[in-house]
Each structure stands twice: as structure tokens, then as C-alpha cells.
Amino acid sequence: MPHRICVYCAASQRVAARYLQLAEQVGVRLAQAGYELIYGGGDVGLMGALARSVHRHGGRVVGVIPEALQEREGIAYELADALIVTQTLQERKAIMFTRADAFLVLPGGFGTLEEFMEVLTLRQLGYHHKPIVLLNYDGFFDLLLQFFAHLRRQHFVPARWPFTVASALDEAFALLERSLSSSADFSTG
Ligand code: AMP
């Protein structure tokens, strides 16, 4: 059974082209590595660019989308190998979380941040030990990481963060590969 990577990323269409290109590159790498993509099921923004790229390169795409979003014309990626339609947003997040072997976070907005915060909180509390990789492409998450460092200095969060930061695509996939091929706890801080 191939490893399943859950990717959280932007739905916005208005972002700079380089972010959409990044999502496409991630799609190429997922397909080449033989990882199955699990994601929010949208055909918009980085999500759409990612899913289409995985398919173009021969990979498998599983989308998990709430009914209300699917009904909005043109949003769901209907070509997904499996499109799981849920009643609620909570149910959707639970399915994505349960099916995934690892999480990869790309640039995104509130939705992406919320999904990232949820899986990292669950990991911190010991509900899972699945790897979480934040792709800090072009320093996109620098401000967030600075805030996390502030939280650490003030002892609001543990010294060891429950996720790993990669600054480039190669590093992100090396981390995923390493963590998926061993059961070792690879989190850093
Ligand atoms: P955002 O970062 O606010 O653009 O939200 C993107 C994240 O929230 C994705 O990882 C999705 O799981 C979810 N999401 C937000 N908007 C949509 C949409 N239109 N279709 C599918 N999923 C979405």
C-alpha cells in the first residue's frame, strides 16, 4: 500500500504564479515518489494545481470535500480517483487526518493554518505520531515561525516542536521519506 500524504494548501486563485508552480512541483514529486495525495478536494488555487499535477504525472488523488463546498460549481476536483463527500467540515478533517500517513503544509490562508494547527496540536497531545512537514517556501512562514519562537521563549509551547520545517522541496521530500521509512520520532525544534 503506498504511503498517503495529506497536503494542506491555499484555495485562493489570486496568489502569485510562483505559489501555483510550487504546488505543481509538489504534485510531480508526490507522483514520482509513488505517494497517494489526500487533500481538500478542491479544483481551485494551489489545491487544484497540485491535484492536476499529480494526475498528469501518473499519481493517485483522493479528495475529501464537504457537501456544501462540492455544491459550489467548479470548486470540487471531479477527476479525483476518489472524491469523498462529507456532511461537515469536521468530518472532512477527521477523514483526511485518519487516512494520512504524513502531513505536508504548503503556503495557504486561514484554512491551511487551521488544518496545520489541528494536526500539530493533536500530535503534541499524543493523539498521533505522524510526521508533519511545513514547507517554508521562500520564507513564506517566517513570521509564523518567529511567533512560535516567541511562544517557546515564553514557555507557552514545548521546546521540541511537533513538526519539522523544510525550506525547499528536496528537503521536504527527504524528511517525508526518512520519517515514513522509520518509526523514529523525527520532530525538531
Ligand atoms: P485556505 O488556506 O484558507 O485557502 O484554505 C485551504 C484549506 O482549507 C485546504 O487545505 C482545504 O482543505 C480547505 N479548503 C478551503 N477552501 C476550500 C475549497 N474551496 N475547496 C476545498 N477545500 C477548501
pTM of the entire structure?
0.94
Q: Which atom of ligand 1 lies closest to the CA of 8?
A: 10
Nearest of 68, 24, 31 to residue 47 by alpha carbon: 24
Cβ-defined contacts of 145-153 (< 8 Å, 24+): 152/189
Residue spans per domain, the chain? 4-181
Residue 134 has pLDDT above 60, yes or no: yes
Q: How far apart are the first and last CA of the chain?
A: 31
Burial label, 113 (beta-carbon count in 10 A; 0-12, 13-18, 19+): middle
Give the model confidence (pLDDT) of 36-77 as tens digits: 999 999 999 999 999 999 999 999 999 999 999 888 756 888
What pLDDT, in 10s, does the model give residues 93-118? 999 999 999 999 999 999 999 999 99
Ligand 1 atom closest to Cα of 44? 19
* The total number of residues written for the chain in this structure: 189
> Which amino acid residue places its CA nearest to atom 5 of ligand 1?
111
Residues contacting ligand 1 via CB (< 6 Å): 8-12, 40-42, 44, 47, 65, 69, 75, 108-112, 115
Q: State the distance from the centre of ligand 1 to the C-alpha of 154, rounded, in angstroms.
A: 32
> Are 106 and 112 contacting, i.e. CB atoms less than 8 angstroms apart?
yes
Amino acid at 25: Q
Mean pLDDT of 21-45: 97
Class of the CATH-defined domain 4-181: alpha beta
